[in-house]
Amino acid sequence: MRMRKKKHCSERLEQCSQLWIKEPEQYKGKWSEIFGNDNPIHIEIGCGKGQFICGMAQNNPDINYIAIDVVPDVLVLALEKATRSELENVRLIIADAGKLCDYFEYDEIKQIYLNFSDPWKKSRQAKRRLTHKNFLDIYKKLLKNGNLICFKTDNKALFEFSLNSFAQENFKMQNITLDLHNSKFEGNVMTEYEERFSSQGFPIYRLEAKYIGWN
């Protein structure tokens, strides 16, 4: 579903400028300076309205979080939520996932979250999926061996596609569940989308993919 244009989006972004990083490429290799500490950095690609990233930041004050979305009208909602919550360990950027290497150095990111990414259902759109080989090759340039990608979706076809993609690209999968909310997994923070669809009885699929080195 296409996000409606938000009124006064540019002005609203500016009002939260303390958490919005306008030119993230300037901080490649220097994100610890933004946060003022050397805590590990986790990123969420496609942050939606920000419920997940804000919940994670509140639960884990010793981890720094960067929320990423390519659509300003989406990011502004997450930005306002993080600002209202007075979170010091969150920053947000408007960016394309295909350009992550312009913003981060190798091993600067310790964990990546992919939550309810667009499934791009048509087969000819497969290259747009955030778990396609093209994107996994980008993540490989950033992640050190043993670092994790945490992936959640309600789309069974995308989950199956992702299982194959991770396996083919030398990621070891763990904590795989086909029904997250009826599993023994602890510490789950829900996105707005997850909250809505799980309440309707849809199962949530989740896995962790650990990078184990280049093929």
Catalytic residues: 118
Q: In what order do the strands lie in the sheet with 41-45?
A: 90-94, 64-69, 41-45, 111-115, 148-153, 205-211, 171-177
What is the amino acid identity at position 199? S
What is the amino acid identity at position 173? M
Closest to 82 in 3D by CA, of 74, 73, 90: 90
**Separation of alpha carbons 156 and 119, rounded Å:** 10
**Separation of alpha carbons 208 and 164, rounded Å:** 13
DSSP secondary structure of 77-138: HHHHHHHHTT-SSEEEEE--GGGGGGT--TTS--EEEEES-----SGGGGGGSTTSHHHHHH
**Separation of alpha carbons 72 and 88, rounded Å:** 21
